[in-house]
Chains A and B, each alone.
Chain A
Amino acid sequence: MSEIREVIIKTDKLATDKYQVNMGPQHPSTHGVLRLLVTLEGEKVLNVQPHSGYIHSGIEKMCEAISYPQIIHLTDRMDYLSAHMNNEAVALCVENALQVEVPDRVKYIRTIMDELARLASHQLWWCVFGMDLGALTTFFYGLRDREHILDIFEETCGARMTVSYSTPGGLMFDIHPNFQKRVKDFIKYFRTKLPEYDKLLSGNVILRERTEGIGHLSYKDAIDFGVTGPSGRASGFSCDVRKHNPYSAYPFVKFNEILDHRCDTLARYEVRILEMYESLNIIEQLIDNIPEGDYAVKMKGVLKLPEGEFYQRVETARGEFGVFIVSDGKKNPYRVKFRSPGFSNLFALNNMTKGHKIADLVAIMSTLDLIIPDIDR
Chain B
Amino acid sequence: MDIYNFTTLTHNIHTGLAQSFAPWLATTIEWVIVGVAYLLFVALFGLFLVYAERKVCAAFQQRLGPMRVGKWGLLQTIADFIKLLMKELIMPRKADWFLYNLAPFIVIIASFLAIAALPFAPGLQSMDFDIGVFYLTAVSSVGVIGILLAGWSSNNKYSLIGAMRSGAQILSYELSVSLSLLTMVVFAGTMQFSAIVEGQRDAWFIFSGHIPAIIAFVVFLIAGTAETNRGPFDLAEAESELVAGFHTEYSGIKFAMFFLAEYINLFIISAVAATVFLGGWMPLHFGNLESFNHVMDFIPPVIWFFGKVLFVIFVIMWFKWTFPRLRVDQILTLEWKYLLPINLVNILLMALVVLTKFHF
Contacts and interface: CB of A to CB of B under 8 A. Distances in A.
Interface of A: 19, 21, 27-29, 43, 130-137, 139-141, 144, 200-201, 204, 206-207, 209-210, 357-360, 362
B62 interface: yes
A168 to B, nearest CB: 41
A21 B159 CA distance: 12
Interface centre among B62, B322, B327 (most CB of A within 10 A): B327
Contacts of B324: 130, 133-135, 201, 204, 206-207, 210
B63 interface: yes
Nearest to B61: A140
Given A43-B328, A204-B324, A359-B328, 17 more contacts: A130-B324, A133-B325, A134-B238, A134-B239, A135-B324, A136-B57, A136-B61, A136-B321, A140-B61, A140-B63, A144-B62, A206-B232, A206-B326, A206-B330, A358-B161, A360-B327, A362-B240
Contact of B323 (A132, A135, A360, A362): A135
A210 to B, nearest CB: 6
A204 B62 CA distance: 21
A360 B239 CA distance: 14
A132 B325 CA distance: 9
Contacts of B235: 359
A134 B234 contact: yes
B157 interface: yes
Interface of B: 57, 60-63, 157-158, 161, 165, 232, 234-235, 238-243, 321-330
B161 A43 contact: yes
A200 B325 contact: no
Contact of B61 (A19, A21, A141): A141
Contact of B241 (A136, A144, A207, A359): A359
Contact of B326 (A136, A144, A210): A210
A173 to B, nearest CB: 32
A131 B325 CA distance: 9
B350 to A, nearest CB: 27
A210 B232 CA distance: 12
Given A140-B63, A206-B324, A357-B327, A19 B157 contact: yes
Contacts of B61: 136-137, 139-141
A144 B62 CA distance: 9
Contacts of B232: 134, 206
B161 A28 contact: no
Contacts of A19: 157
Given A19-B157, A21-B157, A201-B324, A210 B60 contact: no
B326 A21 contact: no
B243 A137 contact: no
B321 A137 contact: yes
A137 B322 contact: yes
B157 A140 contact: no
B108 to A, nearest CB: 25
A98 B321 CA distance: 54
Contacts of A136: 57, 61, 321
Per CB-CB distance, the 7 closest pairs between chain A and chain B, nearest first, are A134-B325, A133-B324, A140-B61, A29-B240, A135-B324, A359-B327, A132-B240
14 contacts: A21-B157, A28-B239, A133-B240, A134-B323, A140-B61, A140-B62, A207-B324, A209-B330, A357-B327, A358-B242, A359-B235, A359-B238, A359-B327, A362-B241
Contacts of A362: 240-241
Contacts of A27: 243
A353 to B, nearest CB: 13
A137 B60 contact: yes
B323 A28 contact: no
A372 B241 CA distance: 18
A357 B238 CA distance: 13
A210 B327 contact: yes
Contact of A357 (B63, B157, B240, B328): B328
Nearest to B158: A21
A270 to B, nearest CB: 15
B358 to A, nearest CB: 32
Given A43-B328, A137-B60, A140-B63, A29 B241 contact: yes
Nearest to A30: B240
A139 B239 CA distance: 14
A28 B238 CA distance: 10
B322 A135 contact: yes
Contacts of B327: 209-210, 357, 359-360
A260 to B, nearest CB: 21
Nearest to A207: B324
B158 to A, nearest CB: 7
Contacts of B323: 134-135, 204, 206
Contacts of A141: 61-62
Nearest to A144: B62
Nearest to A27: B243
A168 B322 CA distance: 46
A332 to B, nearest CB: 43
Contacts of B325: 133-135, 206, 359
Contacts of A357: 327-329
A209 B324 CA distance: 11
A61 B62 CA distance: 44
Nearest to A358: B241
Nearest to B233: A134
Contacts of B234: 134
Contacts of A28: 239-240, 243
Contacts of A359: 235, 238, 241, 325, 327-328
B167 to A, nearest CB: 13
Contacts of B240: 28-29, 131-134, 362
A198 B125 CA distance: 47
